[in-house]
Amino acid sequence: MTDFMSQPRFQIPSVRELKQARLLKKLTNKTQAETDSKFARTVEFYRCLLKEKESRTRQKQRHDNNPELNQRCAESYAFYLSIINNPNSTVREKLLARERIDKLFGLDKG
């Protein structure tokens, strides 16, 4: 004789559970390689962001803690700006000065 309480109970799934089940089914239809590569790209993206932020923070701390470096940067900026504003400067010199200013402020990619 089986007791009513000992038998397994089944509940009607909620709308949320049905949506989660559909989403899970869509995700599992992708191959493992596609899922792994997407995850790897995401991890690499965040790793690059973190590395860039750490680099900027270190550079800012270096500038903040060294007044001589700040003075030298200000002098360099004034010098490169004078090259850009000089009408006798060649286009090449102006471009190089602009690149150096970008490098001073940490705006260069390389």
Higher pLDDT, 10 or 62: 62
| Stronger pLDDT, 6 or 98, i.e. the higher one | 98
Residue 13 in contact with residue 21, Cβ under 8 Å?
A: yes
pLDDT at residue 91, as a whole number: 92
d(CA 52, CA 109): 10
- Spatial separation of the C-alpha atoms in residues 61 and 79, rounded to whole Å: 24
How confident is the model over 13-34, as pLDDT tens digits? 677 777 777 777 776 666 666 6
What pTM, to 2 d.p., does this model score? 0.41
At 65-95, the pLDDT tens digits run: 777 777 888 899 999 999 999 999 999 999 9
- Asked if 79 contacts 98 with a C-beta cutoff of 8 angstroms, the reply is no
